[in-house]
Amino acid sequence: MTPVRHHTGERISLFAAMNRVWDAWVPAGHAPARACVEAAMASPELLVEISVIAAIPEA
């Protein structure tokens, strides 16, 4: 995975909870660089938006 961007809407207070889920999902020692910003969401029901670009090695 290349750098990841997390957008937390107006709920930066959810950052600790998001980190717990992230740490459980990403294999230890393989976390990409990432940034977390507070930004308006497209819909008020959304809590987090995550933008990821992944690279797949050629076979």
CATH fold for domain 4-52: 60s Ribosomal Protein L30; Chain: A; (3.30.1330)
Structure pTM?
0.58
DSSP for 29-51? T-PPPEEEE----SSTT---EEE
pLDDT of residue 49: 79
pLDDT of residue 24: 92
Per-residue pLDDT of the chain (59 residues; tens, 9 = 90+): 566 776 666 667 778 888 898 889 888 888 888 888 777 888 888 877 778 878 888 87
